[in-house]
Amino acid sequence: KKHRISNKKIKEEDGEDDISVIKPVTEHEKILAGRKKLPVFPYREEFLAAVKDHQVLVLVGETGSGKTTQIPQYLYEIGYAELGKIGCTQPRRVAAMSVAARVAQEMNVRLGKEVGYSIRFENCTSEATKIQYMTDGMLLREILTEPDLASYSCMIIDEAHERTLHSDILFGLVKDIVRFRSDLKLIISSATMDAEKFSKYFDDASIFMIPGRMFPVDIYYTKSPEADYVDAAVVTVLQIHVSQPLNGDILVFLTGQEEIETATEILTQRTRNLGSRIPELMICPVYANLPSEQQAKIFEKTPKGARKVVLATNIAETSLTIDGICYVIDTGFNKQKSYNARSGMESLVVTPVSQAAANQRAGRAGRTQPGKCFRLFTAWSFQHELEPNTVPEILRTNLGNVVLMLKSLGINDLVHFDFMDKPPSDALIRALEQLYALGALNDLGELTKLGRRMAEFPLEPMLSKSVIASEKFECVSEVLSTVSMLSLGASVFYRPKEKAIMADTARMNFARGGGGDHISLLRCYSEWVATDYSNAWCFENFVQVRSIRRARDIREQLESLCERVEVDHLVSKPDDNDAVLKAITSGFFYNVAKLGRTGDYQTVKQQRTVYIHPSSVLAKEEQPPPWLVYFELAFTTKEFMRQVAPIDPSWLVEIAPHYYQPSDVEDSKNKKMPKQRKMR
């Protein structure tokens, strides 16, 4: 009995009763009432006083406490926007867009007016913009043109605990900027972890804590390791759905778009088979390239009598808060970049998460009521196999892009740059070597004219080099289309299971005429343009309309950047595949593999065995090309090359004579190989 009374009391304190007395009428009033219920709200005045007293503040609060959506509004409400914009960075584009949309809604303004966002290839801000959300990469770009951030009065580096490469570089830069801009307020905002470390790095900055409201979460492990975690996740979703009370949604952590699409498909099928025997299940995928119309769906209220299941990448770990989640299913994996500085190989690898990340994920279940977390790995594995903390990206990535950016900011001495965690020196050296090989740096390590032009593009150095090289091969227009398609980050083709054969045929049609994946992408784009951007053509050819439209947006941006560096984007050489592939090779001569006698490919310089990704148009080729250039490596079951095109090895000596000797590219068939001794 006593227990019930105390329960009721909590309810009253929660403000439930106030709300029912003064019932909000309009949708907007409901939103305003919701703002006042967030954990950060009672600390509004205290927080604003702290900002007034300190130039740099470390802000810590559990995910969902209101840091991202409320803090910029608080600063706006007391007039900081009159002194300059209020900026807030996010590690992911989806988060930047979705949070900006939410805040615009809370402030009752049109997105892009007072509240806007800017992400790579998409600027949704205007003269009127006062609160600007952006990716951390975009802020880095802004610093290139505005080194003192003069147009800002406050800058919030949000999700600092994620320690993305761009955030880590930003820390070093903004730490310097606040020294000569005493009027700039800097807030480093993070979900619980590592607050002390941030404080220490920013010269013992004060820490402002928002006490969390967390409910207990019971954690369950599997008894033995799961062979197929996607399937295990689907089974667990259905088990929860049929056995647990309906008022609690499910959040599943998977590693990427492909897995999420597979899981969505299986779940749809199985629930369809079960029909009306189970309550409705609303399936919502979330990943980085999800179009914005679909993003809104994850925040929709679950209809009565139904349950929502959100299938997400680690974007839902801390960047996005979805209300109503009570069950978390954690596969224990995410996709991480990994870089071997010695070999210069970078690849995306499905990696076990850290203990800290697993605990964050579990925490998502206990935001509004006690929850349950199902870990699809064993307790032993959690304790003995998972690292305590996620390794910051700067320690496991190719630094080419940021080194180029820092160099163009005039920061030449990278060894003494104030990194929070210093990247390994062989990774730094490797990046310098690579930029030197691309011609972006001279032998004194200074930026060349080419390097300066490359730095204008928000692309990896290899891609920007290809764009600039296309001028020489007189195929700028074609290379821009190819690079835009390559930059999508996900496949432009879709392949529904029930129409897989038709989809494959459509895709292979683009491959006809040779030139591998790069030229197929180019043909696809050009045909679409020739049909006057026809949607019907996309449906017929199994091309995702929204992806190819995005390619067009990217291309338009690259065109205007070309103008800035005086590359004529109209220069075109239709149907000369070799010219296009030579321009690509000018950027990607590092990424070349050669067919060995065993039928496997080996990278030319490091002699690593690699395979053509099954999604490539060259995957089923009866006579695989002897030499390939590849766009990237992805390690899943094997080391796969994604997006490959055949090249003529003689180009390598022509294009990159400083990197390839004629002996490197001699045809293996002509070379006598020593007889292999039979072991046994």
C-alpha 559/C-alpha 547 separation (Å) is: 18
- Residue 126, C-beta contacts closer than 8 angstroms, at least 6 positions apart: 112, 113, 116
Helix (H) or strand (E) holding 565, with range, is none
251 closest CA partner among 318, 189, 187: 318
- Range in contact with ligand ADP (rule: CB under 6 A) among 63-71, 232-240, 255-263, 513-521: 63-71
- Of the residues 44, 85, 92, 102, which one makes contact with ligand ADP according to CB under 6 A: 102
Least Å from the CB of residue 107 to ligand ADP: 13
Closer to ligand ADP by CB, 299 or 436: give it: 299
Output the DSSP codes for 248-261. Answer: -EEEEE-SSHHHHH
Q: How many residues bind Mg ion (CB under 5 A)?
A: 2
CB of 98 or CB of 544, closer to ligand ADP: 98
Q: How far is the CB of 66 from ligand ADP (least distance, A)?
A: 4
Question: Could you tell me the smallest distance in angstroms from the CB atom of residue 380 to ligand ADP?
Answer: 32
How many residues touch ligand ADP under the rule CB under 6 A: the total is 17
**38 binds ligand ADP per the rule CB under 6 A:** yes
Beta carbon nearer to ligand ADP, 34 or 514 = 34
CA 235 centroid distance within chain: 28
Question: What would the x/- binding string for ligand ADP be over residues 303 to 332, using CB under 6 A?
Answer: ------------------x-x---------
Identify which of residues 105 and 408 has a Cβ nearer to ligand ADP in the complex: 105
- Residue 456: count of CB within 10 angstroms of its CB: 18
Say which DSSP state 364 is in. Answer: G
Angle in degrees, CA 303, 308, 313, rounded to 5: 145
The least distance separating ligand ADP from the CB of residue 506, rounded to whole angstroms, comes to: 35
* Contacts for 62 with CB less than 8 Å, ≥ 6 apart: 39, 191, 192, 210, 212, 213, 214, 363
Question: Residue 256, CB half-sphere, CA atoms under 13 Å: how many?
Answer: 14
**Choice from 58, 66, 90, 401 touching ligand ADP (CB under 6 A):** 66
Task: Report the site for ligand ADP in 582-601 (rule: CB under 6 A).
Answer: none
Question: DSSP secondary-structure letter at 15?
Answer: T
Q: Any contact of residue 68 with Mg ion (CB under 5 A)?
A: yes
Taking the complex as a whole, how short is the minimal distance between the CB of residue 260 and ligand ADP, in angstroms? 19
Q: Which does 141 bind (CB under 5 to 8 A by kind): Mg ion, ligand ADP, none?
A: none
Q: What residues contact residue 574 under an 8 Å CB cut-off, 6+ apart?
A: 478, 526
| CA dihedral for 599, 602, 607, 613, sign (positive or negative) | negative
* Dihedral angle computed from the Cα positions of residues 270, 271, 273 and 274, in that order, rounded to the nearest 10 degrees: 120
Minimum CB distance to ligand ADP, residue 38 (Å): 6
Beta carbons within 8 Å of 269's beta carbon, 6+ residues apart: none
Q: Where are the alpha helices (DSSP H) in 59-110?
A: 67-77, 93-107
**Window of 93-101, 261-269, 429-437, 500-508 that interacts with ligand ADP by CB under 6 A:** 93-101
CB of 15 to Mg ion, least distance (A): 22
Q: Which range touches Mg ion (CB under 5 A), out of 65-73, 193-201, 293-301, 478-486?
A: 65-73
Helical residues (DSSP H) of 387-515, grouped into ranges: 400-408, 425-438, 449-455, 461-472, 476-486, 500-511
Single residue of 44, 57, 65, 580 touching ligand ADP by CB under 6 A: 65
C-alpha–C-alpha distance, residues 452 and 472, integer Å: 17
255 binds, among ligand ADP, Mg ion, none (CB under 5 to 8 A by kind): none
Cα 577 from Cα 582, distance rounded (Å) = 8
Residue 67 touching ligand ADP (CB under 6 A): yes
Smallest gap from Cβ 362 to ligand ADP, in A, equals 16
Question: CA-CA distance, 117 to 514, in Å (whole number)?
Answer: 41
Gap between the Cα atoms of 335 and 260, Å rounded: 13
Cβ atoms 616, 516 nearer than 8 A = yes
Q: Which does 611 bind (CB under 5 to 8 A by kind): Mg ion, ligand ADP, none?
A: none
Which one of 42-50, 95-103, 510-518, 669-677 is the stretch in contact with ligand ADP (CB under 6 A)? 95-103
Contact 441, 448 (CB under 8 A): yes
Contact residue for ligand ADP among 44, 51, 56, 61 (CB under 6 A): 61
Report the residue number, 95 or 365, with the smaller CB distance to Mg ion.
95
- Burial of 277 per CB tally in 10 Å (0-12, 13-18, 19+): exposed
453 binds, among ligand ADP, Mg ion, none (CB under 5 to 8 A by kind): none
In terms of CB distance, is 116 or 451 closer to ligand ADP?
Answer: 116
Whole-number minimum distance, CB 189 to ligand ADP, in Å? 7
Residue 129: name its binding partner from Mg ion, ligand ADP, none (Cβ under 5 to 8 Å by kind): none
In angstroms, give the least distance from the CB of 416 to Mg ion: 33
Pick the closer one to ligand ADP by CB: 24 or 172: 24
CB 511 to ligand ADP: min, Å: 40
Spatial distance between the Cα atoms of 110 and 584, rounded to a whole number of angstroms: 41
Query: Which of Mg ion, ligand ADP, none interacts with 323 (beta carbon under 5 to 8 A by kind)?
Result: ligand ADP
Q: Whose CA is closest to 434, among 451, 422, 415?
A: 451
646 binds, among Mg ion, ligand ADP, none (CB under 5 to 8 A by kind): none
Nearer to Mg ion by C-beta: 65 or 255?
A: 65
99 interacts with, out of Mg ion, ligand ADP, none, CB within 5 to 8 A per kind: ligand ADP
Token representation of residue 202:
């920013």
Instruction: Return the residue of 299, 494, 635, 659 that touches ligand ADP, per CB under 6 A.
Output: 299
306-312 sheet: strands from edge to edge:
217-221, 371-375, 325-330, 249-253, 306-312, 280-286
Closest approach of ligand ADP to the CB of residue 394, in Å: 23
Element (H, E) at 606: none
Local structure of 410: helix, strand or coil:
coil
Q: How far is the CB of 294 from ligand ADP (least distance, A)?
A: 12
Question: Beta strand pairing status for 627-635 and 592-595?
Answer: antiparallel
Choices 61-69, 337-345, 498-506, 515-523; region in contact with ligand ADP by CB under 6 A: 61-69
Q: Copy the structure tokens of residue 600.
A: 């496997």
Q: Which residues bind Mg ion (CB under 5 A)?
A: 67-68
Q: Which residues bind ligand ADP (CB under 6 A)?
A: 38, 61, 63-70, 98-99, 101-102, 299, 321, 323
